[in-house]
Amino acid sequence: MSTSLQKQVGQNIRRHREKLKISQEAFADSIGMHRAYYGAVERGLRNLTLRNIDRIAEGLKVSPADLFVDMTSNNRARRESS
């Protein structure tokens, strides 16, 4: 995953977690992930495996694809004009 993709996925994960109104630590614990590792995921510092993407998505009750959706208007506009 490129760094910008890692950051986008991390932002999406954070957004979904915040919708659930759960802390990073509580969420990481609920999916059996170390809180420091999970925090690095949200900051876009970790290159996730498919297994961890699935684990996080399941915990957030979203599809893995939802974690890759680009929510920024600038990036959406660039894709649409390509």
Residues 24-69 pLDDT 10s: 999 999 999 999 999 999 999 999 999 999 999 999 999 999 999 8
The reply to whether the predicted model has a pTM over 0.85 is: no
Q: What distance in Å separates the CA atoms of residue 57 and residue 66, rounded to the nearest whole number?
A: 8
CATH number of the domain where residue 16 is located: 1.10.260.40
Q: How many separate domains does the chain show?
A: 1
Residue 75: give the domain boundaries.
3-81
Q: How confident is the model at residue 3 (pLDDT cuts 50, 70, 90)?
A: confident
Q: What distance in Å separates the CA atoms of residue 61 and residue 63, rounded to the nearest whole number?
A: 7
